[in-house]
Structure 1
Amino acid sequence: MEMLCTLRSATEAQRAALLQAPEALEAFLDDEEDFGDPKGSAFVELDIGEAWHGLQYLLTGTPWEGAAPLDFLVRGGEDVGDIPSDEGTARVFSPADVQALSAALQRVTEKTLRARFDAPAMQARDIYPGTWDEPEAEVDPLEELVSYFEELQKFVASVARRGEALLVHIG
Structure 2
Amino acid sequence: MELKSTLDKAAVLGYLAAAALWIALLGPAWAYIPATPTMPAVNMNFADFVALDAALPTGGLQHAFYSWGAWLFAALATVLAILIDRLRTSVGMTSMGMVAIALGLIQLVVSVLALKGEAAMSVLLGNLPYLRVGSALFLIGIFLLTASGVARLVSARSSNSPVLGSPVPAR
- The reply to whether TM is greater than 0.5 is no
Higher helix share goes to which structure?
Answer: 2
TM-score of the superposition, structure 1-length normalised? Answer: 0.37
Greater Rg over alpha carbons, structure:
2
TM-score of the superposition, structure 2-length normalised? Answer: 0.37
Higher relative contact order (CA 8 A, sep 6+): 2
